Amino acid sequence: MDAHEYVVRMENISKIYPNGIAANREVNFSVREGEIHALIGENGAGKSTLMKILFGMEQPTAGKIYLNDQRITLSSPLQAISLGIGMVHQHFMLVPSLTVAENIVLGMAPTTKSGLFIDYKEAVRLTREYSEMYNLFVEPDARVADIAVGMKQKVEILKALVRGARVLILDEPTAVLTTQETAELFQELKNLKDQGFTIIFISHKLKEIKELTDRITIMRAGRSVGVYETASITEQEISRLMVGRDVVLKMDKPEAVPGERVLCVEDLHYVNEWGKKMLDGVSFSVRQGEIVGIAGVEGNGQRELVDILFGLKLPDSGDAMVDGQSLVGLPQARIRTLGVSYVPEDRMTFGIAQTANIEENVISDRYRHKRFNRGPLFNMKSLHDESDRLIMDYAVLCKSRSQEVGMLSGGNIQKVVVAREFSSDPILIIADQPTRGIDVGATELIRNKLVELSRAGMAVLLVSADLNEVMELSDNLIVMYNGQIAGYFDDGQWDDLMMGEYMLGLKRQSDDEIRRACHA
Amino acid sequence: MFDQLIKSIFQAEFLFVIIRITAPILFAALAAVISEKAGVANIGLEGMMMITALFGFLFAYWTQSWVVGVLGAILVGIILGLMMGFFSFKLKTDIILSGIAVNMLGAGGTIFLLNMFTGLRGNTGALVSPNILIPTIDIPLINKIPILGDILSGHAILTYLAFIFVFLMRTFLYRTPLGLKMRAVGENPNAASSVGVSVIKMKYIAIAASGALAGMGGAFMSMYYSQGWNQGMVAGRGFIALAAQAMGRGEPVGAMFSSLLFGLAQAMKTKVSGLRGMASYNYLIEMIPYVVTIIGLVFYALSVKLKTRKHQLQPIKE
Amino acid sequence: MRDKRMVLFGFVRGAAAIVLALAVGAIFIFLSSDEPFTALRYLLIGPFVSFHGGVTAFNTQNFYQILAAMIPTIFTGLAVCVMFSANQFNLAAEGCVLVGGFVGSLIGIYANIATGWHPVICVLVSAVVCGLIMLIPSVLKVTLGASEMVTSLMLNFVLLYIVLHFLNYHFADRSKGATMTFPFLDSAKIPSLVSGTSKLTWGFVVALIISFLVWVFMYRTRWGYAIRMIGINESFSLYSGMNVGRMIILSSVIGGILSGMGGSLEVLGRYNTFVWRELPGYGWTGVTIAILAKNNPGAVPLAAFFLAYLNKGCQLMSTHSDVPSEMIDIIQAAIFLFFAAEQFLSGFRQKLVVKTTREELVRAESLDAIEGE
């Protein structure tokens, strides 16, 4: 094998974050010159960390990086750029009020002869030149704020190319694109490949990977589980390798006895601000006493669904009702009085007030209740009792109720959130990624509580990107793909391979089968 | 009554006065514009102007040279800007609070410093001499044109400079690489740093430039406008400048028009209060620019609000 | 363990900031004075100790004057505390003190109300007026998102000119040389607390009581709780079902009420007629006090005392030495900068965190070991 075959080689890369999380363990990753290489894996498998290391944004704890067989160390993105590595981030790094051309030359603007002024004409010319050379059509004079998301992405790619990138990393580039824009992007990427560029393509979407890439590296739990020629591996195999589990936690849970429908979601449609359909006719219901899980790769509409259910977004059409009352457009206070409680995905932003103490955090949804007030004053004793009880019930490891929440570990912070949300006598609990990134003990406690509460008659909607979790906990399971429900399972007969096929869009149930999710 | 007013307004002298009154506000407004462009809210302008006005005058007095005075004021302004930057960017004092601290220094610290350096209290009246004041210049040719000459010629050098700076700054912000980087830093620091632009460095440069402009404004106040330094001299111009910046949408030219509006209102005040029957409204007239600012901010906020669609229902993350 | 250390660290840091600020002041004194030690003596211990005739004794009059000076600043300090707690950089306390003083004066001059109730009515009316004024910046903020900082700064000037207009053209006592109102009715004056010329009135007692009440409001009622949570994390509060907009408006209105009370209590206690012709500056002192008190109303009187003490020290220093009293502003600015600096001594804090975390880990491991057996 020719040594020059690989343009990038990463050897035995390990990355352990200061908080002890090992994002990469001894990963080997290499890319051939002039190929499109897919990097695939579940959320949290370590893809992003690996790419951040290659782009100099993170430094590896151990391991070596070679570029054209030269050992390199990368301490900043700037250095990576100067070595010809470019990255297109999932969240665009563009300045909205500047024009396309200005964004492209930012930090390296061409100047007029005097050296004082930007040669804007030259910037436009440069933009046009690259735009034409690589068939990436953009309007150099348009303000970035005014252009469509597909063009923004081209601007990002051009930014990297103008800076001399030969290796391009694209982090889930299609997540924000419409079908048409995706097709366009693929054409452009193939074009770049033909011109000798090397492309690393991070994605969850198997169809895209099959269509576009030459080789594929699959990651799972911080490790690389294999490198394959894309043509020689089936989508089923990729799916299996990606979600295959090391350990199977089996939960014993009593049989669910579903009662009345509590949450009814009817034909929700939502188009995001860039015109992409995020929810496309989603209907289902959640009944008393059952846990309905929503599985799916992130970005297939779960986020938007939950936001609509908690009053953060307005759907374009459709309705969502709790106990027969629509909650669309209601303020959060009203939604809560309907008996909905909510474990937010982003717990540090929405779940807690970091510098407030535990007590202040567990009472935030009920502090107005008569029980806790005497006339204008708080009834401190009943507040203390309440918080002590919750700390005890949810085994929050802390010194006292007056300890600052921000000082607790991630697991205990989540216990505080869950303690509040689970104890407000809700009729519906929406749990969004309830155990992401927390320790085993806290995870187990939260899962047990969810089962316990559902068996006590509450309706639970569980949204999780952790496939283990949804499969273990759910009584009935919905898989979302591309803003739609791809499958509804109520027989408890599911396994990871099957899930993988629905999650990745390889399979879809018939409309009739899916309609069962409404229990109408 | 109104024909009196109109007669006195349509005089070259009145327009001349507006320009004169506008100049120091304009310097401060430009100072606000440049720091805000890099995402730094400089509410210490009031204090910066007080302090630089004092030092400008003192330097001029010591060297008996107005040029040294102006340069000294600029230097002190830069130092103050860097100091604010150090506390806010390095030690993470909220930028609003470092601004308030500078205002405190400006309010009382200046009186202390004046006393420390000269033994005087409250004002520098005793030290004033013509050769340390900023000279006025007659512009050849233009001063020969009947009305225009009376309006435009005969101002202090710094007055012309203030208006020239409006266009220089616009050129700087929109035509130079540094200006481009500065705007990028103010608008999306992540994007700027991802292509190797140093966010902190840009912010330091912006607040230092802000200090330099405030310094010119200060020098103008003590070395021309008030002919000496005194305690109540700046009288809220630093705050007005913040409003002028906001009302001018953060653009140099916009800030110039807002500043002229303030200048007009102040000039009107003197005119109107000199009129029969209107004298007793002078304070209310003086109030107009501030009310106009609030109304301007309301309209600005409304226009932003109307642009937001359903997608911005989500609260802004901290 | 960790919390106790952090609290201690907080104290050490605060003290270090103050010492450093005083050191900055001392440097200026040494630079500017021919008698630096005299100046320093008056600055630091002058307010409490009188040195008359070689005899040192506790100086009661000075002490009363310090307490009297705290009356308006406790109120503005509290006002800023409440507004900053809701994360509102509303700086209109300055203008509200002026209006409060003016409105209180007018009622004190023109309304004939039974003795005893007269000052109460004056204070209450000015409180209400200022509370309503604060609706302007807060409602604009909540409904339109207009920066409360800029609107409140502008509002200060608007209020100043409105007061000046009415003072000059409607309520001025033309018989006097300077512009001032007619004298207050005797029934409207705030009674003195002690004899002498210290101007220490019952207003001081009211200020202390109000401090306590504001503390109770902030830490023992549902509204204060909501205000604090909104200040810490607005998104969290919204999610929890709080009415964020209404609470922000409430906090500003309370800020206005407190500033208005402070203004009228000060004017009716200290003067015989309304004499302010510019913004009195208490609003800005209130900001310093709120920073020193870390937004805790309970600590406001202490912070106000500290500043009043320094102020008195500076005055004495300027009377008895060649250092001007405006030194106070330099020290205050320095306190401000160091005290509010999050990263001040942060390296030390980081070490502390690492150390305690390590200890906790060791403890947790030993616990695990025990449980494992």
Biggest CA–CA distance in chain A, Å, is 82
C-alpha angle B7/B13/B14, rounded to 5°?
60
pLDDT in tens, B232-277: 888 888 888 888 888 888 899 999 998 998 888 888 777 776 676 7
Query: Is B195 within 8 Å of A159 when comparing Cβ atoms?
Result: yes
Domain annotation covers residue A364: yes
In chain C, the residue whose alpha carbon lies closest to the alpha carbon of A342 is C239
| Half-sphere exposure (Cβ direction) of A156: Cα atoms closer than 13 Å | 26
**Banded model confidence at residue C225, pLDDT cuts 50, 70, 90:** very high
Domain annotation covers residue A333: yes
The mean pLDDT value for C213-224 works out to 95
pLDDT in tens, B291-318: 877 887 787 778 777 765 444 444 333 3
> Of C256, C24, C217, C239, whose CA–CA distance to C137 is shortest?
C256
Phi first, then psi, for residue B138 (nearest 5°) are: -90, 125
Domain annotation covers residue A345: no
Query: Is B196 within 8 Å of A107 when comparing Cβ atoms?
Result: yes
The answer for C 96-125 residues in CB contact with B (under 8 A) is none
A54 Cα to chain B: minimum distance (Å): 14
CB nearest A95 (choices: B175, B184, B309): B184
Query: Is A378 within 8 Å of C222 when comparing Cβ atoms?
Result: yes
CB nearest A365 (choices: C216, C221, C240): C240
CB nearest A313 (choices: B191, B195, B314): B314
Which residues in chain C have Cβ-Cβ distances shorter than 8 Å to B121? 324
> Of C190, C184, C203, whose CA–CA distance to C106 is shortest?
C184
In chain B, the residue whose alpha carbon lies closest to the alpha carbon of A92 is B191
* Same-domain status, A76 and A18: yes
Give the model's pLDDT for residue B311: 41
Report the run of H or E that residue A210 belongs to, with start and end. helix A206-212
Query: Is B188 within 8 Å of A118 when comparing Cβ atoms?
Result: no
What is the pTM assigned to this prediction?
0.83
The answer for B 25-64 residues in CB contact with C (under 8 A) is 41, 43
- For chain C, give the mean pLDDT: 86
Query: Is C154 within 8 Å of B243 when comparing Cβ atoms?
Result: yes
CB nearest B177 (choices: A111, A312, A313): A111
Last residue of a domain, one of A225, A243, A261: A243
Domain annotation covers residue A516: yes
Domain annotation covers residue A348: no
Size of interface A-B (CB pairs under 8 A): 75
C106, C181 Cβ separation under 8 angstroms: yes
Which residues in chain C have Cβ-Cβ distances shorter than 8 Å to B41? 149
DSSP-based three-state secondary structure for C296: coil
* Same-domain status, A421 and A432: no
* Same-domain status, A365 and A256: no
Give the model's pLDDT for residue B136: 82
Using a CB–CB cutoff of 8 Å, tell me whether C342 touches chain A. no
Question: Dihedral sign, CA of C29, C35, C40, C46?
Answer: negative
* Same-domain status, A367 and A413: yes
Of B86 and A519, the one with more pLDDT: B86
Q: Over chain A (520 residues), what is each successive 10-residue block's mean pLDDT?
A: 73 77 85 92 80 89 90 88 89 89 90 87 92 89 86 91 92 79 88 92 83 91 88 84 61 82 93 83 93 87 91 91 90 91 89 91 92 92 94 89 83 91 93 82 87 93 86 91 91 82 85 86
Which residues in chain B have Cβ-Cβ distances shorter than 8 Å to C314? none
A107 Cα to chain B: minimum distance (Å): 6
Using a CB–CB cutoff of 8 Å, tell me whether C168 touches chain B. yes
Residue with tokens 């100049």: B23
pLDDT reading at C373 higher than 70:
no
The answer for B 69-128 residues in CB contact with C (under 8 A) is 87, 90-94, 96-98, 100-105, 107-112, 115-116, 121
Query: Is C337 within 8 Å of B111 when comparing Cβ atoms?
Result: no
Other CB atoms within 10 A of residue A19 CB? 8
Query: Is A163 within 8 Å of B197 when comparing Cβ atoms?
Result: no
C285 Cα to chain B: minimum distance (Å): 9
Give the model's pLDDT for residue B8: 67
* Same-domain status, A102 and A205: yes
Q: How many residues does chain C have?
A: 373
**By residue range, what is the domain housing residue A362?**
355-425
Range list of H helices, chain C? 2-32, 36-44, 60-85, 93-110, 117-133, 135-144, 148-169, 202-220, 222-232, 234-239, 244-270, 282-292, 300-320, 327-339, 346-372
- Spell out a b/e string for A159-197, using b for 16 or more CB atoms within 10 Å of the CB, else e: bbbbbebbbbbbbbbbbbbbeebbebbbebbeebbeeeb
* Same-domain status, A437 and A487: yes
pLDDT reading at C7 higher than 90:
no
In chain B, the residue whose alpha carbon lies closest to the alpha carbon of C277 is B283
* Same-domain status, A409 and A434: no
Using a CB–CB cutoff of 8 Å, tell me whether A107 touches chain B. yes
> Of A55, A145, A160, whose CA–CA distance to A105 is shortest?
A160
In chain C, the residue whose alpha carbon lies closest to the alpha carbon of B232 is C278
Q: How many angstroms separate the CA atoms of B79 and B86, rounded?
A: 10
* Same-domain status, A159 and A206: yes
Domain annotation covers residue A344: no
* Same-domain status, A79 and A151: yes
C-alpha angle A263/A265/A269, rounded to 5°?
155
pLDDT reading at C372 higher than 80:
no
The total number of structural domains that make up chain A: 3
Q: How many angstroms separate the CA atoms of A159 and A153, rounded?
A: 10
* Same-domain status, A86 and A188: yes
**Banded model confidence at residue C347, pLDDT cuts 50, 70, 90:** low
Residue with tokens 């969502």: A320
Query: Is C236 within 8 Å of A378 when comparing Cβ atoms?
Result: no
**Banded model confidence at residue C350, pLDDT cuts 50, 70, 90:** low
Domain annotation covers residue A136: yes
The mean pLDDT value for C250-254 works out to 97
Q: Is C294 left (phi over 0), alpha (psi -120 to 50) or beta?
A: left
Using a CB–CB cutoff of 8 Å, tell me whether B315 touches chain C. yes
* Same-domain status, A291 and A370: no
Range list of H helices, B176-273? 177-187, 189-194, 199-220, 237-247, 252-273
Identify the burial level of B257 via C-beta atoms within 10 angstroms of its C-beta, where 0-12 means exposed, 13-18 middle and 19 or more buried. Answer: middle
A96 Cα to chain B: minimum distance (Å): 8
Among A368-372, C70-74, C131-135, C360-364, which is the least confidently predicted range? C360-364
The question of ipTM being above 0.90 is answered as no
Last residue of a domain, one of A367, A401, A425: A425
Using a CB–CB cutoff of 8 Å, tell me whether A330 touches chain C. no
**Banded model confidence at residue B1, pLDDT cuts 50, 70, 90:** low
* Same-domain status, A323 and A442: yes
Query: Is C158 within 8 Å of B287 when comparing Cβ atoms?
Result: yes
Last residue of a domain, one of A243, A273, A303: A243
Cα→Cα distances C292→B277, C338, C341, Å: 50, 11, 12
pLDDT reading at B131 higher than 90:
no
Query: Is B287 within 8 Å of C161 when comparing Cβ atoms?
Result: yes
CATH number at residue A221: 3.40.50.300
Query: Is C329 within 8 Å of B107 when comparing Cβ atoms?
Result: yes
pLDDT reading at B35 higher than 70:
yes
Among A132-141, A403-412, B204-213, C83-92, which is the least confidently predicted range? A403-412
In chain A, the residue whose alpha carbon lies closest to the alpha carbon of B168 is A117
Domain annotation covers residue A96: yes
Using a CB–CB cutoff of 8 Å, tell me whether A109 touches chain B. yes
